[in-house]
């Protein structure tokens, strides 16, 4: 239950970050490095949630790449 709640909170935070950073990704490759560092910084000790955050981050990253190409 706690893990689910944590994953939802993480997803909401990622969605907020996604909105803010979407515009930057096209112009600023260093934003990608900053995001990667931030994701590493926020990794949680619970392996399930950590894995979820990595997967969500990877999905967001791929989405970013796709949206900047179009």
Percent of the chain with pLDDT over 70: 33
Do the domain assignments include residue 39?
no
Q: What is the mean pLDDT of residues 54-58?
A: 69
Q: What is the mean pLDDT of residues 1-21?
A: 79
Q: Which residue has the higher pLDDT, 10 or 45?
A: 10
What is the rounded radius of gyration, in angstroms, for the C-alpha atoms of the chain? 12
Q: How many of the other CB atoms lie within 10 Å of CB of 70?
A: 4
How far, CA to CA in Å, does 23 sit from each of 16, 56, 57? 13, 19, 17
Q: Which DSSP letter does residue 3 get?
A: H
Residue in 2, 12, 1 with CA at minimum distance from that of residue 53: 12
Do the domain assignments include residue 4?
yes
The domain of 59 spans 1-20+47-70
Do the domain assignments include residue 36?
no
**Number of structural domains the chain divides into:** 1
Cβ distance 56 to 11 under 8 Å?
yes
User: What pLDDT, on the 0 to 100 scale, is given for residue 18?
Assistant: 72
């Amino acid at each position: 239950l706690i893990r689910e709640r944590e994953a939802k909170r993480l997803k909401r935070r990622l969605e907020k970050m996604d909105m803010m950073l979407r515009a930057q990704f096209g112009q600023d490759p260093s934003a990608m490095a900053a995001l990667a560092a931030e994701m590493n910084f926020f990794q949680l000790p619970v392996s399930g949630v950590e894995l979820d955050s990595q997967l969500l981050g990877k999905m967001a990253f791929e989405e970013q790449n796709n949206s900047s190409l179009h």
